[in-house]
Structures are given as structure tokens and as C-alpha cells.
């Protein structure tokens, strides 16, 4: 990706949210900013909760022609008519997910800070590879995806790359020339005005 290309925004939901309020919050963000994709990224393993959330968010995203993918749940993605799946196990499930969901579905792969896993996922048919966290996070094990990983990827690999995890204005400014997407979630949902927070981060892309 050249420095003339502006990265796109990829929204990540909170790990838990209230169904009576969050879809409206999401809708207001989608109406106020150009979003390429939304990832339903719930911590719960309760299928009913996931189904209800997916149904509610699908209405919001598809009404605005924005893709909705779900973390991990390949079969639910297919059953619920979602646009694809985001896998967290590096490259291990990419081929199986592609086989299940077909050629038109989005299959993304989170590869932490591993160039090898990213290359393997891309070769297995991933539509994008995500690296992160790019900033320091108390929730991580200390692993951090460095600038040179994104720089190398943008020069050598055609599969789009997502930078996510503990984003700041500084990391966004630094990575904007070498990433295709910024995966933004906790950075905005903890703020009273999520759209204003998103616009602030987006402005740092240049």
C-alpha cells in the first residue's frame, strides 16, 4: 500500500454490551463515519446472547451496506447470514473456514506479531491479516506488533493488513502509511461520544 492510500476504519465491538442501547450507538457511528467493516467480538460463549447480538447488529450494518463479521464462530456466521469470520488462532483455521463459508465470505486472521503466521494465513486464503497490539496494553502478555512488521508486510504482501490493539494518536500517525485498516474498538467505546473519539483518531491518519 502506498503512502497516498488512506487506511480504512474497521470497528470492533466491546466484549459485552447492552442490546437496548449499543445498536443505536453503533448506528450513530456508522452514520457519521465511513466504516469498512464491523467485527462482533463478544467475550461470552452463550449462544443465545451471541445470536441476539448478531441479529441486532446485522440489521444496523446491512442497512448501511457495511460488512459484519463475527469472531471465531464460523458456523454461526453461516447460519446468521453474516459476511464472514475473524479467526484468533493465527493460520490454523483459515482453510477450514474458507471451505465452510465459501469463496465470497470474509475470512480474517489475527496473527499477533508473527510474520510467519501472517504469511501462512495469507497463503491459506485469508482476506486480511491483523497484527497487534500495536501499543502497550495491560491486557496483553507484553507482545507488541512493531512498525517494521507492518512496513515489511505493506511492501511484500498483497493481502490487506489490519493494525489493532491499544491504538493511540501517535501509533496511528506512525502506522498510517503502512497499514490498510485500523481496527478500533476499546479506544472509542469507553468514551461518552464514540463518534467524536473516532473522528479524532481518524484525523491522525493524515
Residues 6+ apart with CB under 8 A from 97: 74, 85, 87, 105, 107
CA angle 112, 114, 120 (to 5 degrees): 110
In a domain, 3, yes or no: no
In a domain, 2, yes or no: no
Three-class SS string for the chain? CCCCCCCEEEEECCCCCCCCCHHHHHHHHHHHCCEEEEEECCCCCCHHHHHHHHHHHHHHHHHCCCEEEEECCHHHHHHCCCCEEEECCCCCCHHHHHHHHCCCCEEEEECCCCHHHHHHHHHHCCCEEEECCCCCCCCCCCCCCCHHHHHHHHHHCCCCEEEECCCCHHHHHHHHHHCCEEEECHHHHCCCCHHHHHHHHHHCCC
Q: Which of 123, 127, 121 is nearest to 90 (CA)?
A: 121
- Quick check: 110 and 140 in contact, CB under 8 A? no
> For residue 47, what is the domain's CATH number?
3.20.20.70
Q: State how far the Cα of 36 lies from the Cα of 32, in Å rounded to an integer.
A: 13
In a domain, 161, yes or no: yes
In a domain, 76, yes or no: yes
Provide the domain count of the chain: 1
Boundaries of domain holding 174: 8-203
In a domain, 59, yes or no: yes
In a domain, 1, yes or no: no
Q: State how far the Cα of 38 lies from the Cα of 122, in Å rounded to an integer.
A: 21
In a domain, 111, yes or no: yes
In a domain, 80, yes or no: yes
Radius of gyration of the chain (CA): 16
Q: What is the pLDDT along the chain (206 residues), one digit of tens a residue?
A: 233 579 999 999 999 999 999 999 999 999 999 999 999 999 999 999 999 999 999 999 999 999 999 999 999 999 999 999 999 998 999 999 999 999 999 999 999 999 999 999 999 999 999 999 999 876 667 789 999 999 999 999 999 999 999 999 999 999 999 999 999 999 999 999 999 999 999 999 98
Amino acid at each position: 500500500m502506498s503512502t497516498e492510500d488512506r487506511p480504512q476504519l474497521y470497528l470492533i465491538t466491546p466484549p459485552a454490551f447492552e442490546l437496548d442501547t449499543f445498536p443505536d450507538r453503533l448506528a450513530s457511528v456508522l452514520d457519521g463515519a465511513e466504516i469498512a467493516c464491523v467485527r462482533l467480538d463478544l467475550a461470552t460463549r452463550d449462544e443465545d446472547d451471541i445470536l441476539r447480538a448478531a441479529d441486532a447488529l446485522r440489521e444496523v450494518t446491512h442497512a448501511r451496506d457495511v460488512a459484519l463479521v463475527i469472531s471465531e464462530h464460523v458456523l454461526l456466521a453461516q447460519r446468521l447470514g453474516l459476511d464472514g469470520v475473524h479467526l484468533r488462532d493465527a493460520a490454523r483455521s483459515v482453510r477450514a473456514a474458507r471451505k465452510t463459508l465459501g469463496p465470497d465470505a470474509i475470512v480474517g486472521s489475527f496473527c499477533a506479531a508473527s510474520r510467519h503466521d501472517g504469511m501462512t494465513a495469507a497463503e491459506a486464503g485469508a482476506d486480511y491479516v491483523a497484527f497487534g497490539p500495536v501499543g502497550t496494553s495491560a491486557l496483553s502478555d507484553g507482545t507488541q506488533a512493531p512498525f517494521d512488521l507492518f512496513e515489511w508486510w505493506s511492501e511484500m504482501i498483497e493481502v490487506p493488513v489490519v493494525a489493532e490493539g491499544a491504538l493511540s494518536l501517535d501509533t496511528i500517525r506512525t502506522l498510517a502509511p503502512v497499514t490498510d485498516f485500523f481496527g478500533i474498538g476499546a479506544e472509542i467505546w469507553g468514551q461518552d461520544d464514540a463518534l467524536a473519539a473516532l473522528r479524532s483518531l481518524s484525523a491522525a491518519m493524515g
